[in-house]
Amino acid sequence: MSAEQVVAEDDLVAGRLCCPVCDGPLAPWGFARERTVRLLDETRLLRPRRACCRRCERTHVLLPAWALARRRDGTEVIGRALLAKANGQGHRTIAVTLGRPAGTVRGWLRTFTRRAGAITTTARLWERVLDPSADQQIVSGPPLVGAVDALGRAARACRSRLKLTASPWELAVVLTGLLHGPGRDPPGF
């Protein structure tokens, strides 16, 4: 078990993790199916923890920020694809570079593009809260480009203000849900 898993398990058992639906305390509820996650240079075996909300009684699968719900590939892999697309590359070129099927990469890009508006809004809120002096410049171009730019700005503000060492794409997952999951508005919004 990694250090991050130990901390998450301790927080879960102590009731310090909150339900993303109702903010009620989460409690341990077994484990989800074991799966393999493809990262940039390796694969990792992951057996995600399940949790149940004591208030609304919904169950949730807890994933580390390097893994995404319903995706076989890790956060950094998908993040590289999004960045390459924002820089003008096509899905086939990106697929070859990453060693992934073209249809898989096309699916990531389409899903992200559908969520681009909501992701941009959430990322800009986080940037404004974490760095009020930041220039909230709007990037012209397709929605995907604006969303990738907003994520980069929010991640930079988060790393600078909170002194975090997580990768920008892991922070993007935590703040906005990236491909799946709800965006998390900053406190007070």
- The whole domain housing 136 covers 75-176
**Residues 27 and 111 reside in one and the same domain:** no
pLDDT at 87 over 80: yes
Per-residue pLDDT band at 94 (split at 50, 70, 90): very high
Per the domain annotation, does 70 fall within a domain?
no
pLDDT digits (tens, 9 = 90+) for 128-186: 999 998 887 778 889 999 999 999 999 999 999 988 888 999 999 988 888 776 677 78
Bridge partners (DSSP) listed for residue 50: 61
Per the domain annotation, does 188 fall within a domain?
no
∠ at Cα 45 (30, 167), nearest 5°?
A: 100
Measured CA to CA, the distance from residue 76 to residue 38 in angstroms comes to 10
Per the domain annotation, does 44 fall within a domain?
yes
**Residues 22 and 99 reside in one and the same domain:** no
pLDDT at 187 over 80: no
Per-residue pLDDT band at 4 (split at 50, 70, 90): confident
**Residues 88 and 134 reside in one and the same domain:** yes
**Residues 48 and 81 reside in one and the same domain:** no
Bridge partners (DSSP) listed for residue 36: 45
151: phi then psi, degrees, rounded to nearest 5: -65, -40
pLDDT value at residue 44:
95
Contacts of 41 (CB under 8 A, 6+ apart): none
pLDDT at 25 over 80: yes
**Residues 84 and 31 reside in one and the same domain:** no
Q: The pTM is what?
A: 0.89
Sign of CA dihedral 114, 117, 120, 121: negative
